[in-house]
């Protein structure tokens, strides 16, 4: 069984997993060609 401290850590980690950092969080803002993710059909190629 997890200790109280570890149970707290697990709960905080699970809460954080609901808003994972997005790759664009680590990139400068690009005003002209910003990332614009959108659901594309799976048969289209991922980024080469």
Residues that bind other proteins (CB under 8 A): 2-3, 6, 8-17, 19-38, 40-41, 43-48
Shortest Cβ 27–other proteins spacing (Å): 6
Shortest Cβ 44–other proteins spacing (Å): 6
Shortest Cβ 7–other proteins spacing (Å): 9
Burial string for 3-39 (b: 16+ CB within 10 Å, else e) reads eeeeeeeeeeeeeeeeeeeeeeeeeeeeeeeeeeeee
């Amino acid at each position: 069984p997890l200790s109280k401290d570890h149970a707290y850590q697990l709960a905080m980690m699970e809460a954080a997993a609901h808003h994972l950092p997005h790759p664009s969080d680590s990139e400068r803002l690009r005003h002209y060609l910003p990332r614009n993710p959108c659901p594309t059909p799976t048969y289209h190629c991922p980024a080469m």
